[in-house]
Amino acid sequence: MDPLRQSPSRSSSRASSPRTLPCEMLGYVGIEAVLDQLKIKAMKMGFEFNIMVVGQSGLGKSTMVNTLFKSKMWKSTMPGLGVPTPQTLQLQSVTHVIEESGVKLKLTVTDTPGFGDQINNDKWLRPLDIEFLQRLCRTVNVVPVIARADSLTIEEREAFRHRIQENLKTHGIEVYPQKCFDEDINDKILNSKIRERIPFAVVGADREHIVNGRCVLGRKTKWGIIEVENMAHCEFPLLRDLLIRSHLQDLKDITHNVHYENYRIFRLNESHVLPRGPGWVNLAPAPAGPQANPVPPKVGGWAKDNSDEEC
C-alpha cells in the first residue's frame, strides 16, 4: 500500500487539529472584561431607534408613540378641528433623546400624514396598503397593528386578525419577525408565538387614571377604564416588549446587515457599478409604469426599523 495514501491515524489527526488541543489557563486573563467595556461604551454613546408609523388620520398614531415610550413625543392633531387633510404624502419626522437609568435612546419618529385618507378602507387591506407593504417589507422591518382595538368586540378582533394574516400570506408580505432569521430553536419558539398574534390589537393612551387604588395608563369611556398595559384589554404589552424589551437589537441588526446591505447593492446595481448577475438585487415588485426610487431603510418600526447607519 502506498504510504503516501495511508489514512492518518486518530492520534496524528488529533495532533494536527488545534481545536482539539487542551488549553489549561494558568491564571486570570481578563477576557470577560470585554463585556464591561462594551457596556461602558454603549452607556456613553447611547442607542438610536427609528420608527415610521403609517395609517389613516385619527387612528391614534401619535398617542401610540407617546404611550410606547411614555413620553410626549408627538402632539396629535384631531380630525375635524379646521386642519385640512393633506392631499399628498409628505413625511414628517421628530427626534427626541429619552434617558432611563442612565441609558440614552435617540428616538426618531416619522409620520405619514394623509396616507390613504381619501380611500375607503372597510376593514380590509386596500390595494394601496398591499402595494405599500410589498415594497416596504423589502427595505425595513414591518410590524402591523390593529389600531383602536377597543372599538371591536373580541370576536370581531380575532376575525379581523385572521383576515389580515391571510392577506399578508396571499400577497407574499413578510412581516417581522421573519421566519428565515430564526437563529435557533429558542428563537423559533418565541417568534412563532409572536407571529401567531400579529397584527397586535392595541389601544393607545397617555393619561393616567386610578383603578382599584392603582395608577394606570388608560382611556376613560362611559363603560369604564381601558387599561393599556392589561392583556385582558389589549395587546399593547406584546408590541412594547417586541419593539423595546426583547427584539430591539435584533431589529437594528437585521436593518443594518440585511435591509441596508440589500438597499446598498440595489443602488450600486442601479448606477451600473455592479454588473447584472447573481449579485443583482430587486427590492421592488415589478411596477406597471416607470419604477420609483425605493425607500431607504432609514426608518422602520411597526411600519419601521432601526439602525445606526445613515443611508
The amino acid present at 308, given as its one-letter code, is D
The grid coordinates listed for 106 are 435617540
Collapsed DSSP state (helix, strand, coil) of residue 221: strand
Q: What is the pLDDT of residues 250-281, one digit of tens each?
A: 999 999 999 999 989 888 888 776 566 665 55
Degrees, nearest 5: CA angle 198-204-210? 125
Q: Which residues of the chain have pLDDT under 70?
A: 1-23, 25, 74-89, 118-123, 273-311
DSSP string, 80-145: TSSPPPPSS---EEEEEEEEETTEEEEEEEEE-TTTTTTS--SSS--HHHHHHHHHHTTTS----E
The size of the chain, in residues, is: 311
Residue with cell 400624514: 113
Q: Is 4 exposed, middle or buried (0-12, 13-18, 19+ CB in 10 A)?
A: exposed
Q: Assess contact for 303 and 136: CB atoms under 8 A.
A: yes
Give residue 118's pLDDT.
63
Note the pLDDT of residue 15.
44
62 class by beta-carbon count within 10 Å (0-12 exposed, 13-18 middle, 19+ buried): buried
- In degrees and rounded to multiples of 5, residue 96 shows phi and psi of -135, 155
Q: How many CA atoms lie within 13 Å of 170's alpha carbon, on the beta-carbon side?
A: 10
Can you tell me whether residue 216 is helix, strand or coil?
Answer: strand
| Per-residue pLDDT reduced to its tens digit, 22-67 | 667 677 888 889 999 988 988 888 899 999 998 888 888 888 888 8
In this prediction, residue 64 carries a pLDDT of 87
Q: 286-292, long-range: CB within 8 Å, 24+ apart, which pairs? A: none
- What does the pLDDT read at residue 2? 45
State which amino acid sits at residue 247. Answer: H
Instruction: Give the pLDDT confidence score for residue 144 in this predicted structure.
Output: 94
